[in-house]
Amino acid sequence: MRLITGRLTAHLPALALLLGLLWAVPVPAQDTENLLPVTEAYKLSADAATPGVLKLHWTIAPDYYLYRGRMKFKGGDGVTLGEAQLPDGEKHHDEYLGDVETYHHGVDASIPYTVAAGTTRLTLSVQYQGCHEVDPKICYPPHTEHLDLPLPIAAGAAATPAAGSALGAALDRLGSHAGAATTGAPLPAEQAFRFAALAQGPKQLLLRWTMPKGYYLYRDQTTLKLADAAGLALKPAWPAGTAHHDEHYGDVTVYFDQVELPVTLEGDHLAGRKQLALQASFQGCQDGGLCYPLMTRAVQIDLNGGAPATAVAAPERPPGDLADGPLQVSLLAALLLALGGGLVLNLMPCVLPVLSIKAVSVLESGGNRATARRHALFYTAGVLCSFAALGLGILALRAAGHALGWGSQLQQPLLVGALACVMLAVGLSMSGVVQFGASLGNTGAALASRSGPAGDFFTGVLAVVVASPCTAPFMGSALAYAFAAPMLSALLVFLMLGVGLALPFLAVGFVPALARLLPKPGRWMETLKQVLAFPMYLTAAWLVWVLANQRGADAVGLVLVAMVLLAMTLWWFERSRSRGAASKIAVAVLAVATLVPMYLLAHVPPPSSTATAEDGVVAYSPQKLAELRAAGTPVFVDMTADWCVTCKANEHAVLGTQAFRDLLQRTGAVYMKGDWTDVNPTISAFLQQYHSPGVPLYVVFPKDGGPGRRLSTVLTRSLVERALTEAAH
């Protein structure tokens, strides 16, 4: 009986809806003969003329209505549907379905979609449900219609110029060598996005991008500018494109296959000009694959109507003090900058908590010089191996086309959560909650607290991991060089950063005079170790805060559960030392349980972008920056991230102060901020444009439209005031 009751309880919602629908038919069957068939009560028509967007329309008969919440859409083979755009319905309380929205007379729906390479038909299923609202009152069961529509020609493929047109023939020749469609490895950027330009008249240009099948170009990530053409302006007239929902940019317009862009030249300085130097910066993707970083192509256009100019890749030469590019710094200078940057990292707040672990071990070694040297060497080995692995990983991924930079590994929520748990474990060890023995010698927190070579090595690894959110003075130029230099030179720069970070402990281990300055070990050392556990807890709390901004409250809840289970595991591990096998099995069970919330954390999606802008701060976008610059407004661009400790220190000391707000008002400047806490290709492209290895990046654009000026990664009030004052004059 209990089993039957349980099953009935599990199915009560479905039974209630079924009984409700039966109750809604209180009249004899012959009274329903005048009801319309479902496809006549709700006549569905589809329009697929717009590439990338399917438009649906229901014509609803009088006295009938459709439920908004009962509409479902599912793509067929090779078709991926985006979120359907539906208007708000009439709100009312349904006796059986609760609060609902309904449509009368008619309703339109718009559904963005993408299709896989080789798909020739747009297939999908559409499910809907409605009711008759006067006697006889009846609700139809859910009804599904299957649509099979021809795919439209991509809007980016503009009409071919008329036969015999010299312009059309010339451009067609340029586009005829575009690579074939690919669903495998992405093509080089020069093959995936072919760009050409031609003068159509004295004041009219025609630009063409040609892409293989399966590649597309972003309209709003494209900028055009003229070199050495003061007094001239470009006015593009973009054709209709394909609506596309992008994971990073949201709802955007893109072009597949090919797009021709008419551009009008405006200004009074065209007389006598025979050539025009044009630079086009743009971004595109392989459908379902790699998104390319920002590309820049340069062309020389013959204004007398000569052959079309084929673009060549232009080096990324940001304006201002970076115009010469990062490789203008010699390898020797980059190594010296890296050494200085690594030394300064020891003073950064992100590294200090981990250095406290090593400080305790050095102090405990007392006057034993052999022990001090061993500490220094194994710690240095951990630092150097970690810097080498981090550098090789970043460089390899960037070579594959991924926009990664210094600290970008903390854009991964799972890594942030795992690092928070490691910091908690290290803190609990230093507080004396658990003492790790040889049996756990290969686990993260155990290694950090051991006094042998493994503990020294892992402390060096941990120091590099927590140093990555920081960008110290001198580091920016060194890393910019590394990201543009050949692999061997780049690896040397990363290793020199490690030498700088490890140098203080090497000095203590190998210079007796420095070692003699350290205090003698004693009972006070245990108290110091317990006091130094609290920076570990604070670091864990900071990482949880970073995670909250990346993935919201659900992610915070999961990592807090994981941290509680980890603390319970370590506590019971300590108690199980003198107990039997059952206690050790309980430790293993708790350890496995700790991994469950971490697994769930890896699958938490980013929160909806509903955050409101800060007061007086404009969210970064290339379009908004271009508008402000065109209007003659000085702009202070701040590229930041929640996990960037240097960024937060600058905000506290300079950018978040009333003095900075007064300076903005006095100079008429706009404060524009870009958030790189999570993966963002738009900001990655801006960082690449200025050869910045990561955040923070500060660029001040003057009101006269001149080149932007990049500021130091560590800000002072006087530096910012001088830069903004100059930009406003």
The residue written with tokens 């170009």 in the block is 217
178 vs 357, higher pLDDT: 357
pLDDT single digits (tens) 140-164: 888 889 888 887 754 333 333 333 3
Q: How many residues does the chain have?
A: 729
Q: Report residue 144 as tokens.
A: 């599904």
pLDDT single digits (tens) 687-700: 877 777 778 899 99
Distance, first Cα to last Cα, the chain? 86
Is the Cβ–Cβ distance between 557 and 601 less than 8 Å? no
Is the Cβ–Cβ distance between 362 and 547 less than 8 Å? no
Greatest mean pLDDT among 3-12, 124-133, 240-249, 576-585: 124-133
DSSP output for 516-532: HTSPPP-THHHHHHHHT
pLDDT on residue 116: 77
pLDDT on residue 525: 66
Rounded Cα distance between 133 and 228, Å, is 70
Stretch (H or E) spanning 475: helix 475-484
The type of residue at 410 is: L
Choose the weakest-confidence range: 521-530, 552-561, 612-621: 521-530
- Computed over every residue of the chain, the mean pLDDT equals 75
pLDDT single digits (tens) 268-279: 666 667 778 888
Is the Cβ–Cβ distance between 236 and 224 less than 8 Å? yes
pLDDT single digits (tens) 622-648: 888 888 888 889 999 999 988 887 888
Q: 291 forms bridges with which residues in the sheet? A: 285
CA proximity to 107, closest of 82, 130, 79, 86: 86
Asked whether residue 615 carries a pLDDT value surpassing 90, the answer given is: no
pLDDT on residue 270: 64
At residue 610 the predicted structure's pLDDT band, cuts being 50, 70 and 90, is very low
Asked whether residue 13 carries a pLDDT value surpassing 80, the answer given is: no
Q: What is the mean pLDDT of residues 298-308?
A: 68
pLDDT on residue 168: 45
Give the phi and the psi of residue 15 in degrees, each rounded to 5. Answer: -65, -40
Asked whether residue 404 carries a pLDDT value surpassing 90, the answer given is: no
Rounded Cα distance between 158 and 241, Å, is 10
Choose the weakest-confidence range: 403-407, 518-522, 666-670, 698-702: 403-407
At residue 296 the predicted structure's pLDDT band, cuts being 50, 70 and 90, is confident
706 Rama class: left (phi>0) / alpha (psi -120 to 50) / beta: beta
Q: Report residue 578 as tokens.
A: 């003198």
Rounded Cα distance between 64 and 132, Å, is 5
Asked whether residue 177 carries a pLDDT value surpassing 50, the answer given is: no
DSSP output for 85-133: B----EEEEETTTEEEEEE-SEEEEEEEEEE-TT--EEEEEEEE-EEE-
pLDDT on residue 398: 57
pLDDT on residue 635: 94
Pairs from 322-330 (Cβ < 8 Å, separation ≥ 24): 322/690, 322/691, 322/710, 323/707, 325/484, 325/691, 326/477, 326/480, 326/481, 326/483, 326/484, 326/485, 326/691, 327/481, 327/484, 327/485, 329/477, 329/480, 329/481
CA proximity to 538, closest of 271, 323, 393, 354: 354
22: number of Cβ within 10 Å: 10
Asked whether residue 66 carries a pLDDT value surpassing 60, the answer given is: yes
Asked whether residue 18 carries a pLDDT value surpassing 60, the answer given is: no
CATH 2.60.40.1250 maps onto the chain at 2-150, 166-180+187-314
Rounded Cα distance between 712 and 697, Å, is 8
724 Rama class: left (phi>0) / alpha (psi -120 to 50) / beta: alpha
CATH 3.40.30.10 maps onto the chain at 617-727
The residue written with tokens 């039957």 in the block is 4
Rounded Cα distance between 11 and 6, Å, is 9
Q: 45 forms bridges with which residues in the sheet? A: 57
Is the Cβ–Cβ distance between 115 and 79 less than 8 Å? yes
At residue 612 the predicted structure's pLDDT band, cuts being 50, 70 and 90, is very low
Query: In what order do the strands lie in the sheet containing 53-60?
Result: 42-47, 53-60, 106-115, 79-81
Rounded Cα distance between 469 and 690, Å, is 19
Greatest mean pLDDT among 29-43, 156-170, 206-220: 206-220
CATH class of the 2-150 domain in this structure: mainly beta
pLDDT single digits (tens) 307-318: 455 554 444 444
Give the phi and the psi of residue 330 in degrees, each rounded to 5. Answer: -75, 165
pLDDT on residue 443: 39
Out of 3.40.30.10, 1.20.1070.10, 3.30.980.10, 3.10.50.40, the CATH code matching 617-727 is 3.40.30.10
At residue 670 the predicted structure's pLDDT band, cuts being 50, 70 and 90, is very high
Q: What is the mean pLDDT of residues 380-407?
A: 71
At residue 485 the predicted structure's pLDDT band, cuts being 50, 70 and 90, is low
Rounded Cα distance between 658 and 277, Å, is 44
Choose the weakest-confidence range: 52-56, 545-549, 682-686: 682-686
Counting residues of the chain whose pLDDT is more than 70, the rounded percentage is 72
**Alpha helices for 180-269 (secondary structure H):** 189-192
Q: Report residue 681 as tokens.
A: 């290709």
Helix, strand or coil, per DSSP, at residue 607: coil
Name the packing angle between helices 533-575 and 352-364 (round to 10°): 70
Asked whether residue 533 carries a pLDDT value surpassing 60, the answer given is: yes
Q: What is the mean pLDDT of residues 296-319?
A: 59
Q: Report residue 482 as tokens.
A: 């590394």
Architecture of the structural domain at 166-180+187-314: Sandwich (2.60)
Dihedral, CA of residue 674, residue 677, residue 678 and residue 679, to nearest 10: 60
Q: What is the mean pLDDT of residues 520-547?
A: 78
